[in-house]
Amino acid sequence: MAILLCITQWDPVPWLERMRRLAPERDIRAWPDVGDPADITYAAVWKQPAGVLKDLPNLKGIVSLGAGVDHVFADPALPDVPIARVIDADLTSRMSEWVVMHALIHLRRQRLYDALQRERLWRDIRPAPAAGELRVGIMGMGVLGQDAAAKLRTIGFSVAGWSRTRRTVEGLETYGGDALDEFLARTDLLVALMPLTPDTRGILDLSLFRRLARDGVLGAPILMNAGRGGLQVEADILAALDEGTLGAATLDVFETEPLPQESPLWLHPKVTITPHNSAISDEDAVGRFVLSQIERHERGLPFETEVDRRARY
Ligand code: NDP
Ligand code: OXD
C-alpha cells in the first residue's frame, strides 16, 4: 500500500518531503521512482505523464493536487478509478482576493493612475463610478465563483453568476447554461472561474466578447480569467482589445504556460498578467487534504470531492 506522487511541471522534491513529513508512517514515492507498480494503491497527481497510471494494477483512486482536473483527464489512458480534487478554504480565499483586487483596480482605474504617476501628473479621472454601478458577471458558480461573488457583493458590486445548471444563491442574479446571451448582455466585467472541459474550451472568443454589455460605466467591457488558459482564444482577446470590443483584460492563465516570451499579451497596454498564481495555495493544507481523502477511501468511504468523469470536472 503506497502512494505515488506523480508530478510534472512543479518540483516534485518538496512535495515528496512534505507528504512524508505529514504522513511519516506511510510509504510515499515520487514518479519516476515507482518501485514495484503493484504496491501503489493511490496516486496524487499534477500533470501526470500520459500512460503512467494505467501501469499501476492495484490503483484504487487518483487525487489531483489542484482544484482543477483537466490535467488529469488529459491522459488518454486514464484508469477507471475515482478521481478527487482539492477544495481548500485557503485556496478559495486567495482566489477571491485576486478577483476582488483586480475588480477594484478596474473600477478605480488604477492602471491609468500608475501611468499618470510615471509622468508625475496630478489628474483626477472622471467619471468615477461606484462599485454598485459596475455589473460583474461570474462564469462558473462553483466553489470559487460563489465565494468571489459573495466577497464582491460585500464591497457593493452588482454581481450575477452563470453556470451549467442554474444556481440559486440568495441575493444574486443567476443564469443557467441556456441563458448565456442574457447574462453577457448585463455584464461589464466578466470573470471566468470555470473548469476546462470539452464544453468550455475556447468559450472566451470574439463572438462572446461582442455579446457583452456596450453601455457600461467603464466605456468597454473587461475580461478577467483565472479558470484555465484553454477557456480563452488569445488571438481573439487581442483582436477585441484592438477593436475596442474589450477595454482591458486581466489574465492569470494562458493557452501555453509559462506564457511564451514572444506573446503580444506581455506588453499590451490594456493587459494585466499574473503567472497562474491567483490562488497560491498553502501546500501543507493541500497535502493534508489529499491524505484525508485517501484515508477516507481506504475506510471504504467515497472521496468527498469526487469529480464527475462524464462532465470532466
Ligand atoms: P467547481 O467545480 O466547484 O465549479 C465549476 C463551475 O463551473 C460550476 O458552477 C459549473 O456549473 C460551471 N461549469 C462547468 N462547465 C460549465 C459549462 N459548460 N457551462 C457553464 N458552466 C459550467 O470548480 P471550482 O470553482 O472549484 O474551480 C473552478 C476552476 O478554477 C477549476 O476547474 C480550475 O480550472 C480553476 N482554478 C484555477 C486556479 C488558478 O490558480 N488560476 C486555482 C484553482 C482553480 P454547475 O454549477 O452547473 O456544475
Ligand atoms: C488548481 C490550480 O487547479 O492551481 O488548483 O490551477
Integer Cα distance of 240 and 96 in angstroms: 26
The interaxial angle of helices 89-107 and 110-118, nearest 10 deg, is: 60
Residue 127 Cα, ligand 2 centroid: separation in angstroms? 37
Our answer on whether the CB atom of 66 is closer than 6 Å to any ligand 2 atom is yes
pLDDT at 281: 86
- Given the residues 18, 153, 276, 312, the one annotated as active site: 276
pLDDT attached to residue 280 = 86
Q: Looking at 71, 106, 228, 297, which residue is catalytic?
A: 228
pLDDT at 161: 98
pLDDT computed for residue 312 by the predictor: 97
* Centre of ligand 2 from the C-alpha of residue 281, in Å: 9
Q: Is-catalytic flag, 312?
A: no
Question: Quick one: DSSP state of residue 80?
Answer: S
Establish whether residue 68 lines the binding site of ligand 2, counting it when its CB lies within 6 angstroms of any ligand atom: yes
CA 67 to ligand 2 center in whole angstroms: 5
Amino acid at 155: I
Q: For position 31, what pLDDT does the model report?
A: 98
Model confidence over 139-184: pLDDT tens digits?
999 999 999 999 999 999 999 999 999 999 988 999 999 999 999 9
Q: Cβ contacts of residue 176 below 8 Å, gap of 6+?
A: 162, 163, 164, 165, 166
- The pLDDT, as a whole number, for residue 255 is 98
Q: What pLDDT is recorded for position 171?
A: 85
Render pLDDT for 92-126 as a digit per residue (tens, 0 to 9): 999 999 999 999 999 999 999 999 999 999 999 99
Question: Which among 70, 281, 289, 307 is the best mutation to test ligand 2's pocket, defined by most ligand atoms within 8 Å of the CB?
Answer: 281
How many Cα neighbours within 13 Å face the side chain of 276? Answer: 16
Which residue stretches of the chain have pLDDT < 70? none
Catalytic annotation present for 228 = yes
